[in-house]
Structure 1
Amino acid sequence: MQKKICIITQSHLCRNPRVLKEATTLATAGYDVHILTGIISEDLYRQDLLAIGSFANIKLQLISNVSASTLNSFTDKLLSKIGRVLVRNFKIENSLALGYGAMRYYNKAKAAKANLYICHQELATYIGTRLLNEGYKVAFDFEDWYSEDLLPEARAERPISLLQRIEAIALNKGSCCITTSNALANQLSKVYLCPQPKVIYNVFPSPGFIHNKIKKFSTPLKLFWFSQTIGPGRGLEQFINVLSTLKTGIELHLLGNITTDYREILTTLMPTQYGLYFHPLVDENQLAAKIAGFDIGLALELDTPPSRNYTITNKFFQYIQSGLPVIASETEGQDEAFDKFKPGFKLAQQPSAQQINELDRWLSNPVELQLAQQQAIEAAAFYNWENESKKLLQLVNNALGE
């Protein structure tokens, strides 16, 4: 009999490639995959359905849909707001503050009658700990360190103690725990005195068009950074400050949604001798080809909060898999990914004048750039979903006792 795996998440599949890769890999391996999730956009939901459309054994069940004008949507928004107000104003920690539809997820999860549940993100982790108490087999995927994931101003509405409590339960009692880097796995193990979670990197399937052809770099060099949202706290302002002392000609290209105010801030900060260009979001299946059209990828990240310090930004992996050398911010997580192949230049959080000069020399040296590109291609042969998916399947087999 085909075994059922229920994946619990709270975000769009097209905006969370980790969940999507997991679901399609398990479906390809013959499992019946049931996904519980919520949506905030009908357009993104259509992309979700397209992403899993060829898999008859993947079922997507919506627990919340706040894009709709319905009583459920109104209620979900109201309860979520109440939950956050209770945390912020009265220090009453509760699961309502973790996401929409919190009260329905548990019942729908139990009704799925799965052989194994895999929980992603904060609300799903809470649901998973409740399922554990009922004797279900539950695995947890720590995409981030949830209780240490936000900047101080955003933590006021977060039930931090609740998150810490469910993290401790999940890490010590889950059938299997997975995370995104050895750096984060080590830290979680130390803090929660738990077995070290297994590591599955946030990598992607090899795009197929990358080969060993020497790249011809542009003049000026086209530096590229992307995210769903272009905003503060991501290292962009700090990097633009570094650019102000460089002599090498560059263009800075940013892809993602951006507010008018923040666009004006970046435009004002940018040295006038360099070009600053903004690009709209593209579909996930077009991103690798888009990245490949630039010269160097920017894996910028601050070392605060702790979650960002210990994780590895998806960007790093997507750049190397599109054949780009990388300028990577120095964090515990990115050191782990970068140091194995050194596919570019690693930049300190507070770079010295000497290091900025070294960066300038590196950017102006075509031989060094071509060497970094070759090292990026070598890194991509190691960091890819073809390799990581085998680890996932083995972990799921072990959790199911197969």
Structure 2
Amino acid sequence: MSPSVCIATPGYLSSTPRVVKEADALHEAGMDVRVVHTWGGLERKRKHDRDLLRDKEWTIDTVKWSSDRLDELGTYVRYTTQHRLAQCMPKTTWPATRMAEQVEHRVYPVLARRVAEEPADLYIGHYPAGLAAAAHGAEQHDALLGYDAEDYHVGQQPDNQPRIERTDFIERRYLGRCAHVTAASEGIASALADRYYIDRPLVVHNMFPWAERGNLNGQTKDRNGEALSLYWFSQTIGLNRGLQDAIRAAGLLDTPVQLHFRGALYDEVESELVSLAEESGVAEQLYFYSQVPPDELLSRTAEHDVGLALEQGHTPNRALCVTNKLFYYPLAGLPVAATDVPGQRRLLENHTDFSGLYEPGDVEGLAAVLRRWTDRDALEEAKSRALEMARGAWNWEREQKKLIRSIREIL
């Protein structure tokens, strides 16, 4: 009989590719995999999930809650009410209840219940709410518990003391029970071990399958001409993402350049970035795009010349993390211009043939990195080196092996 694994996460799967890759890897390794997640009211995200999950062979269990759908309204009202009541409860109630978990995620109770509906040999949680839900399933079925730390969650909002205390409580409550803990970077692994006095988690980087390159469509939809094309993407285009550095640095270059930013964009953010681009003399070369389905993102990325990884390190998590971009750009064949923060430095400092580091805010430093690739021959060499790294080492086909090995050992 095949070992069974249940993975719990509180969000949309198209926004958490790490969950999907984990499920794919364990399924392909011969395990029975069930993923329990939730859908809120964002129809665009639901569509992306449907597209992403269309051909998956593992089991998907979706908790649906939306105020806009009649058949989901009861779940929305019930757990929104419970969520607000839990927010009013004192912290002294946390040890004997699941109030902290309820505050952490609105529909935690139904997520936990759905996780526990079917037995599994191992329950793996993603994010603190997913960890708590997985722990509930493990308790109900006397099974093993695991946790994947995609971020250093307690360090995501250093000015939000209630969130820090809640995250610390949940992780401290359950991490000691875990037989399997993974982290997305060396820095996050060390921070978790130091904070919670646990064995150092296994580092499983958030790499992407080399096989995804088979989906490249060769089309050019975003790029405008042959000028050096700089590219950045994320869920949201914001003013704390280092984009101002890129705009100012582009204005310092003597050769033509274009800037392409992809993500959800608010009017006030667009206005400020455009104003800065006008000051820097690159307003006509600045482009914004909305998010695309996951299966199209690599094609849109590969159109460009240089990937921007502009983490500012303004929170402990952002200083320690290794973002998806650092692996995605080389997969698309792009060299990387990145800020010199601990997580990114540790990964890139020995790969100067296709990357360059600069201190956040040092616009001249970023411009110096970009000038290396204004020479077409140097750019093509850097692109070749980046792609070579993705093919030989920085791919999910290789990285998943240590995840599978670890889980097989505990099972």
TM-score (norm 2): 0.86
**Structure 1 pair 229/97, CA: closer, same or farther in 2 (3 Å)?**
same
**Aligned twin of 1:71:** 74
**Aligned twin of 1:54:** 55
**Aligned twin of 1:220:** 227
Deviation of 1:246 (Å): 3.2
Q: How many residues align?
A: 390
Write out aligned runs for 1:2-401 (5 A): 2-40=2-40, 41-62=42-63, 64-65=65-66, 68-69=69-70, 70-84=73-87, 94-130=100-136, 135-150=142-157, 152=159, 155=160, 158-206=162-210, 207-208=212-213, 219-270=226-277, 271-274=280-283, 275-342=285-352, 343-351=354-362, 353=364, 355-356=365-366, 358-359=368-369, 361-381=371-391, 382-400=393-411
- Contact 2:34-2:60 at 8 Å conserved across structures: yes
Structure 1 range deviating more: 34-43 or 355-364: 355-364
Secondary structure at the aligned position of 2:271 is classed as: helix
- Mapped to 2, the partners of 1:232 and 1:345 lie a distance apart of 22
Structure 1 residue runs of 5 or longer lacking an equivalent are: 212-216
- Mapped to 2, the partners of 1:66 and 1:171 lie a distance apart of 34
**Structure 1 pair 25/67, CA: closer, same or farther in 2 (3 Å)?**
farther
Could you tell me which amino acid in structure 1 is paired with residue 133 of structure 2? I
Deviation of 1:331 (Å): 1.4
Structure 1 range deviating more: 63-72 or 103-112: 63-72
Large movers: runs of 4+ above 6 Å:
none
Could you tell me which amino acid in structure 1 is paired with residue 291 of structure 2? L
Residues 248-270 of structure 1, C-alpha deviation per residue, up to 9 Å, x if partnerless? 32111011110111111111111
Residues 330-362 of structure 1, C-alpha deviation per residue, up to 9 Å, x if partnerless? 111111221242322212124274x35633531
Deviation of 1:46 (Å): 4.2
Could you tell me which amino acid in structure 1 is paired with residue 410 of structure 2? A
Secondary structure at the aligned position of 2:382 is classed as: helix
Deviation of 1:86 (Å): 5.8
- Mapped to 2, the partners of 1:234 and 1:149 lie a distance apart of 14
Deviation of 1:147 (Å): 1.0
- Contact 2:245-2:363 at 8 Å conserved across structures: no
Structure 2 residue runs of 5 or longer lacking an equivalent are: 217-223
- Contact 1:97-1:159 at 8 Å conserved across structures: no
Deviation of 1:273 (Å): 3.4
Secondary structure at the aligned position of 2:356 is classed as: strand
**Aligned twin of 1:214:** none
**Structure 1 pair 10/398, CA: closer, same or farther in 2 (3 Å)?**
same
Structure 1 range deviating more: 256-265 or 40-49: 40-49
Secondary structure at the aligned position of 1:94 is classed as: helix
Residues 47-103 of structure 1, C-alpha deviation per residue, up to 9 Å, x if partnerless? 424433334442323264565341211222333344456689xx9972222112122
- Mapped to 2, the partners of 1:379 and 1:147 lie a distance apart of 32
Could you tell me which amino acid in structure 1 is paired with residue 282 of structure 2? Q
TM-score (norm 1): 0.88
Secondary structure at the aligned position of 1:112 is classed as: coil
- Contact 1:99-1:123 at 8 Å conserved across structures: yes
- Mapped to 2, the partners of 1:359 and 1:378 lie a distance apart of 20
**Structure 1 pair 371/55, CA: closer, same or farther in 2 (3 Å)?**
closer
**Structure 1 pair 360/58, CA: closer, same or farther in 2 (3 Å)?**
closer
Structure 1 range deviating more: 191-200 or 237-246: 237-246
Structure 1 range deviating more: 270-279 or 76-85: 76-85
**Structure 1 pair 352/248, CA: closer, same or farther in 2 (3 Å)?**
same
